[in-house]
Structure 1
Amino acid sequence: MDGDARVERHVGWRGDSALVAEARRPLRRRVARLLQVDGLPATVGLPSERRIAAGVDPRIFHTYPLLFHTVFPDVSLAQLRALSVSGSHLFDYVLTLDEVLDRPASCSGGSLLLGSVLQREALHGLYALLPPASPFWGHFDRYFEHFCQAVLREEARHRGLVQPYSRGELELVYSGKSAIAKACLAALAVLGGDERPLPRLEASHDSYYVAFQLADDLADWQIDYARGHYSYPLTVAFVRAGWQGWVESGDRPSVPEVAELLARQDVVEEVRALALGYLDRAEGAVDRITDGSWHAAIRTTRERIGGPALCLGPPARQSEAAAAPVDAPAAPVGWRGDPRTLATPIAPSWRPWLDARRVPRAPGQALLAVQFRALDEAGPARTTGEAVCQVGLAIAASRRAFPQQDLAKHLGVSAAELDWFDQHGPWLDGLLALGLDEPAEPWHPGHPGTSGTSGRSGTVPGWVPPAVGRYLGHRLVARCAPEHPPGAAPTLDALLRDHRAHSMT
């Protein structure tokens, strides 16, 4: 009987998740239409869905209120599903804010507009369930204030600076990042007509997310370090070793040096023990509340934190055979090119947005010679993703050989084109996502059907510089370079894996 009940509960969760996903579809379509210019995607999907596709998160966010339903059994199924939809939009809103705050250099108007749309949609749904006079909104304001203080404190004290965390600050910041998720607790309590369990659930929720965030920091420390975001595990190691000045200098320790320090100081076990202690607190706060899915979530996270998978190494690499697209071309393409193409790869799906009138500027002969030599050694590429990475590695080689030359000259672009590329990261991510696994082809002037999108007033000339493939390759390599010791070039697989990690987290 117990086994049957567990199976039915699992099937029910999947069914509710599918219903919520279906309810989200109109917003996804509206966002896809809204955040684009002439069909060029400004986003490759809502943040949560990108994380799910990358395996960063399970689909649990669609049905988050079900974790606490056993505590508030009088809340109807219709109310639960409506709350799940609004909560999922709220979750995406917070993830969008995270992206803007974590990567301000790549922040665009599209990111800010997406956040506005998601916030409006979430609040619209919540107001339909809980009118303005409801006591829910007092709780919501309190959670939002906690979230704001956590974000601002972390930004001010731990981004770019190595400052020790007090225990109080650790709890405020790490629980505050997920404070808005407590809105579902208050909503269930108000809708169910019983706010008595709310303080204990809030305390459990806060302790749980301190533990959860500590585990995430161990798993993502390389990304945090690359962004100058000094999490608790990194800060403990740097302060204990007296590395504050070195880390804050213009010549920071390399990633292998930081990994060695973390291992030498046994930071993993220390932070693991701290996280398990917070899970004990999370469990103790609800020990008198009916056992249910929230208790199961705590136990599952305990297994994850206590298991051997939590370590300092990089994420498990997908094998090349598993990562290869099913329809990869049989005949790979070389990228040495001729003087007109300048080793400029494009994907077929990019053509409508490329400006055929713009000819990539030829780097000097010395720069080209280094780039072509690197491309000859690299061999052929099967996909646009591989071609872009190979060109990026060739550009990195010429930059090492001629560091005095401006980046624009290595890329073969004008200063204005380089500025445009730097300012439109989301569009570039959208282009790369469209063509990542497509067969690559070299760009050349006057290619039939290269340019032009169908707009409201007919065909709109493309405007994206064709050298976008060269810039994307440079960006992938430059972002991955800090994780590799000098002289050790990353593999194509590592570059593409790193791109997926950065675009999903």
Structure 2
Amino acid sequence: MAIGTNMEWMKQFEREIEDTFREAEKEASLFPFPLNGIGVDHLAKLNPLRSGQGSNLITFLLPYWLSEYAGSSPEVGRELAVGNVFAMLHFFLLDDAMDEGGIMKGAGAPSRRLLALGQLCHAAFQGRYDRIAVPGWSWSASNNEYVRQWAEAVAEEGEVAADPGDVGRLARKSAPVKLCVAVILRLSGREDRLPELEKAVDLALATLQLSDDWTDWREDLAGGQEKCNAFLTLARERIALPLAEPLDERQVRRAIYRANAAGALSDIADGYSERMSRLTDIPGELYAFQRATAAGIREGADEVAAVKTRLAVEGGLSYFLSQHVIK
């Protein structure tokens, strides 16, 4: 739904994506054996042109949007985009080492190799950012702050229920994405724009998290990750299920088909679009990405409404609800 929308929308950036991943794979191929092959394979999984998954587009397209916005050269955007790809893989590998899941689940590489590969990716990320010289300024302090935000999000994940209305918390796990914002604005002498652009990126990241949670709610529920999923938090609220009672799939479907949980989620995402529209002087592509993601969530809500309408007209709604939701 949302991912499909972004996949359609991203076609205009195919050249940038191809260039970024070609460069990243070239560098990964120089890693020591066998980590070079593992690294190239994992990069292929992250490449939306190969995997068909578009939920991480902002990670490697944001530097291109920002370099054009700030008047930097395309080479700056490409260097930071490649750096962001390696940073993204580094964090995914950390996640996998912590929970033995994620996008690398079943890859067959033991945690020792994943952690070693992660360190190589981190070094590659640092190397790319170091190539972008900002006279009299080091990017490490900004990076430390964004990594701190990521660490806070990881530390509380599964302990505190995700809140679909809390932009800051929804965006924190992806906070390192904002490093390229700080670097490019500093390079172009427009660092005064950082607070406003951080707000814009947070709204886009929060909308993306809502989209991912809507797409992944069954997997998260089955895996005991209810508190990590903002849509499941919303579903529980829509049917007023006490926190002491477990949430199951039938109850989530009840929230979707009887309590308009999908529509409520879409309203929140549309609210983020409205908030973003009130920000001034932000890259048009960033706003377009957020709106495309929100539109994908709305498509999902509209599909639910269409199913209900069709079944009501055909006389099958009562039977459907009796089979798929709790009365």
Give the TM-score, by structure 1 length: 0.50
Q: Distance in 1 between matches of 2:156 and 2:201?
A: 20
**Residue of structure 2 in register with 1:64 after alignment:** 62
User: Could you tell me which of 95, 108, 112 is aligned with 2:92?
Assistant: 95
**Aligned-pair CA distance for 1:204:** 0.9
**Aligned-pair CA distance for 1:266:** 1.6
Q: Is the 8 A contact 2:21 2:43 kept in 1?
A: no
**Aligned-pair CA distance for 1:28:** 3.2
User: Could you tell me which of 83, 86, 99 is aligned with 1:86?
Assistant: 83
Q: Distance in 2 between matches of 1:291 and 1:43?
A: 31
Higher Rg: 1
Letter in 2 for 1:281: R
Letter in 2 for 1:33: F
1:154 maps onto 2:160 in alignment: no
Q: Secondary structure of the residue that 1:56 maps to in structure 2? A: coil
Root-mean-square deviation (CA, aligned residues, Å) is 3.4
Q: Distance in 2 between matches of 1:12 and 1:215?
A: 21
Q: Distance in 1 between matches of 2:199 and 2:261?
A: 26
Q: Distance in 1 between matches of 2:303 and 2:96?
A: 25
Q: Distance in 1 between matches of 2:90 and 2:195?
A: 25
1:142 maps onto 2:145 in alignment: yes
Q: Distance in 2 between matches of 1:50 and 1:16?
A: 12
C-alpha distance after superposition, 1:471-505 (max 9, x if no partner): xxxxxxxxxxxxxx9xxxxxxxxxxxxxxxxxxxx
Letter in 2 for 1:147: W
Equivalences for 1:109-188 in 2 at 5 Å?
A: 109-130=112-133, 134-158=137-161, 165=163, 167=165, 170-188=166-184
CA, structure 1 residues 171+297, in 2 after alignment: closer, same or farther (shift >3 Å)?
closer
**Residue of structure 1 in register with 2:51 after alignment:** 54
Q: Secondary structure of the residue that 1:289 maps to in structure 2? A: coil
Letter in 1 for 2:286: W
CA, structure 1 residues 283+148, in 2 after alignment: closer, same or farther (shift >3 Å)?
farther
**Aligned-pair CA distance for 1:145:** 1.3
Q: Distance in 2 between matches of 1:11 and 1:263?
A: 33
Gap regions ≥5 residues in structure 1 = 1-9, 159-163, 314-484, 486-505
CA, structure 1 residues 153+290, in 2 after alignment: closer, same or farther (shift >3 Å)?
closer
**Aligned-pair CA distance for 1:137:** 2.6
Q: Distance in 1 between matches of 2:231 and 2:85?
A: 30
Q: Distance in 2 between matches of 1:98 and 1:312?
A: 33
**Residue of structure 2 in register with 1:269 after alignment:** 263
**Residue of structure 1 in register with 2:221 after alignment:** 225
Q: Is the 8 A contact 2:208 2:293 kept in 1?
A: yes
C-alpha distance after superposition, 1:122-171 (max 9, x if no partner): 0122122247962533222221111111221224324xxxxx7495xx33
**Aligned-pair CA distance for 1:289:** 0.9
Q: Distance in 2 between matches of 1:194 and 1:98?
A: 34
Q: Is the 8 A contact 2:163 2:170 kept in 1?
A: no
Letter in 2 for 1:80: G
Q: Which is bigger in relative contact order (C-alpha 8 A, separation at least 6)? A: 2
Give the TM-score, by structure 2 length: 0.74
CA, structure 1 residues 212+12, in 2 after alignment: closer, same or farther (shift >3 Å)?
closer
Q: Is the 8 A contact 1:215 1:272 kept in 2?
A: no
> Relative to total residues, which structure has the larger helix share, 1 or 2?
2
**Residue of structure 2 in register with 1:208 after alignment:** 204
Q: Distance in 1 between matches of 2:283 and 2:164?
A: 33
**Residue of structure 1 in register with 2:299 after alignment:** 307
CA, structure 1 residues 311+35, in 2 after alignment: closer, same or farther (shift >3 Å)?
farther
User: Could you tell me which of 280, 296, 299 is aligned with 2:288?
Assistant: 296
**Residue of structure 2 in register with 1:25 after alignment:** 25
C-alpha distance after superposition, 1:152-204 (max 9, x if no partner): 1224324xxxxx7495xx33321112211111111111111221211110011
How many residues get paired? Answer: 287
Q: Secondary structure of the residue that 2:268 maps to in structure 1? A: helix
Q: Is the 8 A contact 1:17 1:59 kept in 2?
A: no
1:244 maps onto 2:247 in alignment: no
**Aligned-pair CA distance for 1:238:** 2.8
1:190 maps onto 2:186 in alignment: yes
Q: Secondary structure of the residue that 2:157 maps to in structure 1? A: helix
Letter in 2 for 1:128: R
**Aligned-pair CA distance for 1:72:** 0.4
CA, structure 1 residues 52+31, in 2 after alignment: closer, same or farther (shift >3 Å)?
farther
CA, structure 1 residues 265+110, in 2 after alignment: closer, same or farther (shift >3 Å)?
farther
C-alpha distance after superposition, 1:241-279 (max 9, x if no partner): 3353342xxxx73x3443234332221111110111112
Gap regions ≥5 residues in structure 2 = 1-9, 306-323
Q: Secondary structure of the residue that 1:33 maps to in structure 2? A: coil
Q: Secondary structure of the residue that 1:45 maps to in structure 2? A: helix
Q: Secondary structure of the residue that 1:241 maps to in structure 2? A: coil
CA, structure 1 residues 47+228, in 2 after alignment: closer, same or farther (shift >3 Å)?
farther
Letter in 2 for 1:305: I
User: Could you tell me the percent identity over the aligned residues?
Assistant: 21
**Aligned-pair CA distance for 1:70:** 3.7
C-alpha distance after superposition, 1:97-116 (max 9, x if no partner): 33344546967222222222
Q: Distance in 1 between matches of 2:156 and 2:148?
A: 12
